Amino acid sequence: MSIRAENLVWRIGKKTIIDGVSLEVKPGLMLGLLGPNGSGKTSLLRLLAGLKRPQAGRITLDGQDLKGIDRRQIARRVAFVEQHATTNASLKVVDVVKLGRFPHRSMFSGWTLADDAAVAEALERAGMTQKRNDPWQSLSGGERQRTHIARALAQAPQELILDEPTNHLDIQHQISLMRLISSLSITSIIALHDLNHAAMFCDQLIIMQEGRVVTVGTPEEVMTEDLLKTVFRVDGRIEASPYHARPHIHFMR
């Protein structure tokens, strides 16, 4: 098992934000994390990335407790693209992506050709090669998002955690990002709001509501009209797409 969480609890003051969440993602699979606003997706991802400590429960990477793994080692294997990621405004795109290589370097090792190759490949995969020398400040919201994705890819992680990575992207880049993530052999966990994109690209889905897991399974198992109504408060009809065979939701007007 690549990432596993057991009975995670995270509270702020008296409020329980994450309430007994367990999940596991097998190596190489893409897990979609879905749920209404405020259901705890970001909070859960921050726990899984080791940015916050749960008050109860345990997270393991390949069976090893996250608490016992040093920060640098975590940074080497887990990449996290946050929802409102920013960076030092004076950097160029390529410099931001280069930051992804830092966990791999020791204090004495210099920049290598392998680092250059990883940065160039990450820029290309995120569609940012043309803008590699542009200043961060000049980028649009979607280009900033893609630069952070390139930085995460340059990190060559074993686990990639993404918090609504498509929210600033135009439709072409939304689809190409989902296609890219699903084609990688990296284990990924991705918070999304687009239920159709989640069903189309993810191997497994986990649905959250008020800090708890409501259901988990393949898109076919999880996506039901009842779930749309009870969790997402919308009326929809679901059919197997004649084009890609995954569930497709038609929302009612």
Ligand X SMILES: Nc1ncnc2c1ncn2[C@@H]1O[C@H](COP(=O)(O)OP(=O)(O)OP(=O)(O)O)[C@@H](O)[C@H]1O
Tell me the site size for ligand X, rule CB under 6 A. 10
In the complex, the smallest distance separating the C-beta of residue 107 from ligand X, rounded to whole angstroms, is 34
In the complex, the smallest distance separating the C-beta of residue 213 from ligand X, rounded to whole angstroms, is 12
Q: From CA 78, how far away is CA 50, in angstroms rounded?
A: 9
Q: Is 12 in the site for ligand X (CB under 6 A)?
A: yes
Of 12 and 245, nearer to ligand X (C-beta) is 12
In the complex, the smallest distance separating the C-beta of residue 178 from ligand X, rounded to whole angstroms, is 18
Among 17, 149, 169, 231, binds ligand X (CB under 6 A): 17
Of 41 and 132, nearer to ligand X (C-beta) is 41
* Binders in 27-86 for ligand X, by CB under 6 A: 35, 37-43
Of 154, 17, 162, 31, the C-alpha closest to 93 is 154
Of 95 and 163, nearer to ligand X (C-beta) is 163
Bridge partners (DSSP) of residue 212 are 209
Of 48 and 119, nearer to ligand X (C-beta) is 48
In the complex, the smallest distance separating the C-beta of residue 208 from ligand X, rounded to whole angstroms, is 7
Q: Is 14 in the site for ligand X (CB under 6 A)?
A: no
Of 15 and 71, nearer to ligand X (C-beta) is 15
Binding site for ligand X (CB under 6 A): 12, 17, 35, 37-43
